[in-house]
């Protein structure tokens, strides 16, 4: 006699329409996955190729397999320095941004906060208007932040968009929760960190992801505010390596690029080295992602 295993039920035959739908659905999803994954795989293949893969057409098999590209990239002094700077700005920058955004969002979420609309309006104003590149540079310079890592962290410390999401999330927390804590003798700070913060974990995780990805990818501020090689971030170093020799004008202005242009393989290796860490971190934070965005949206 066949044992009926618990949890294993006999499959019902699916109707033909359902099967058809599933076939379409799955093949579409697989296609979607392939189109998303292909660029990564191509980059990976190209990073292990010795010659110029562009000549070979598109292929997922490395041409003249070599690890030389990685050896060259990882021995580049600036990549190491850039990594250190990027890690610093990502970790410290994200932590400070979260703290500052949270600290500002909490009072703005309180209906009892005096002139709340005015202060919120002031923050939202910055979403639509900005001083522009030159005033920003002047500001950062007059604060003596040029060539310090704070030039990469402080100017973008609080993003208005993130703040609004955080504020809306906090507004959805029932007031009675805080009142009961107050009856138990908690003060404002305790309420903020012991009661409100734990509830806000999903939105905090979401914002942390956004901010850290932003910090990881940012390079333009480093280009403007960091005038010394030792302060530049890895994305800027990568950009320079990838663009080297791609500019035909460089040729026309007489710089002979044929001897030291960046091969496709070297470009691939550089991009992999610069993006892999954030790619690896992504899946672990992503689960908070959708939840956090949904919960913070459309309330106000």
Partner 1 sequence: MSGNRRKALAAVLVLALVGWAAVAQAPMKITVANYQIQPTDQNGDMIKFFDKKFNVDVQVMNIDNNKYHELINVRIAAGEIPDFFYLKDASTLPIYQKQGVLAQLPLSMLQKNAPDVLKVLSDNAPQYMDMGKIKGVQYGIPIVSPTNIFHLPLVYRTDWLSKLGYSKPPETLADFEKLMYDFAGKDPDGNGRKDTYGLSKEGTLAVFGAFGINPYDTRNGVYWNKEGDKVINSAVSPTARQGLALLAKWYKDGVLDPEFITGENQGGYWALSHAFIKGRIGFTCLGNYYHYQDDGSYMTYNYDEATKTVVKGPSKAENNAKELKAANSNARLGFGMPLQGPAGARGMKAYSRLMNFVTIGKLAERTPGKMEKVLQIFNWAAASPDVQDRDTAAWGIEGTHWIWADRPTEQIAYLPPFSKENGYQHRIGCVFTREMPFPPKAPREQWAYANNLDKYAIFSAVEVGLPLAAKYKAELNKIRDEAYIAMITGDKPLSYFDEFVRKYMAAGGTECEKESNEYIDSQK
* Interface positions with partner 1 (CB under 8 A): 51-55, 78, 133-134, 137-138, 141, 223-224, 227-229, 232, 236, 239-240, 243-256, 258, 260-261, 263-264
Identity of the residue, 53 or 191, whose beta carbon is nearer to partner 1 in the bound complex: 53
As to burial, measured by CB atoms within 10 angstroms (0-12 exposed, 13-18 middle, 19+ buried), residue 135 is: exposed
Closest CB 238 distance from partner 1, rounded Å: 12
Q: Rounded to an integer, what distance in angstroms lies between the CA atom of residue 195 and that of residue 189?
A: 10
Q: What's the rounded Cα separation, in Å, for the pair 85 and 235?
A: 10
Half-sphere exposure of 80 (CA within 13 A, CB side): 6
CB of 82 to partner 1, least distance (A): 11
CB 41 → partner 1: shortest distance, Å? Answer: 17
Please, which residue, 86 or 264, has the CB nearer to partner 1?
264
Could you give the CA distance from residue 297 to residue 300 in angstroms, rounded to a whole number?
A: 9
Contact between 209 and 288 under an 8 Å Cβ cutoff? The reply is yes
State how far the Cα of 117 lies from the Cα of 101, in Å rounded to an integer: 17
Secondary structure tally for the chain: helices H, strands E: 15, 0
Q: To the nearest whole angstrom, how small is the minimum distance from the Cβ of residue 268 to partner 1?
A: 11
Q: Which CB sits closer to partner 1, 75 or 115?
A: 75
Give the residue with the Cβ less far from partner 1, 21 or 220: 220
Which of 279, 269, 226, 277 is closest to 76 using CA atoms? 269
Pick 60 or 91: Cβ nearer partner 1? 60
Task: Compare residues 3 and 55 and give the one whose CB is closer to partner 1.
Answer: 55
The Cα angle at residue 12 between residues 7 and 15, in degrees rounded to 5: 145
Residue 264 CB, nearest approach to partner 1 (Å): 5
Q: What is the DSSP letter of 53?
A: G
Q: How far apart are CA 108 and CA 45, in angstroms?
A: 50
Q: Distance between CA atoms of 280 and 95, rounded to whole angstroms?
A: 19
Nearest residue (CB) to partner 1, 108 versus 218: 218
CB 135, min distance to partner 1, A = 9
Least distance to partner 1, CB of residue 47, Å: 14
């Amino acid at each position: 006699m066949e044992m009926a295993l618990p949890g294993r039920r006999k499959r019902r035959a699916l109707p033909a329409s359902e099967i058809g739908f599933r076939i379409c659905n799955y093949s579409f999803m697989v296609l979607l996955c392939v189109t998303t994954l292909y660029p990564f795989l191509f980059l990976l293949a190209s990073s292990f190729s010795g010659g110029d893969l562009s000549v070979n057409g598109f292929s997922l098999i490395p041409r003249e397999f070599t690890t030389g590209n990685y050896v060259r990239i990882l021995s580049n002094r600036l990549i190491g320095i850039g990594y250190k700077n990027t890690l610093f700005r990502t970790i410290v920058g994200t932590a400070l941004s979260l703290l500052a955004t949270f600290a500002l969002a909490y009072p703005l979420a309180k209906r009892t906060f005096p002139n709340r609309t005015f202060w919120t309006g002031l923050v939202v104003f910055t979403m639509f208007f900005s001083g522009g590149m030159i005033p920003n540079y002047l500001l950062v310079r007059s604060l003596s932040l040029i060539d310090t890592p704070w030039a990469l962290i402080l100017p973008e410390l609080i993003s208005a968009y993130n703040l609004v999401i955080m504020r809306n999330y906090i507004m959805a927390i029932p007031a009675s929760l805080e009142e009961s804590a107050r009856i138990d003798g908690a003060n404002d700070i305790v309420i903020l960190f012991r009661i409100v913060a734990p509830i806000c974990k999903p939105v905090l995780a979401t914002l942390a992801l956004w901010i850290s990805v932003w910090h990881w990818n940012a390079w333009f501020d480093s280009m403007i505010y960091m005038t010394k090689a030792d302060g530049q971030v890895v994305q800027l170093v990568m950009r320079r390596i990838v663009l080297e020799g791609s500019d035909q004008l460089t040729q026309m202005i007489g710089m002979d690029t044929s001897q030291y242009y960046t091969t496709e393989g070297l470009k691939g290796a550089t991009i992999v080295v610069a993006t892999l860490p954030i790619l690896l971190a992504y899946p672990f934070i992503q689960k908070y992602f959708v939840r956090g965005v949904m919960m913070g949206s459309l309330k106000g």
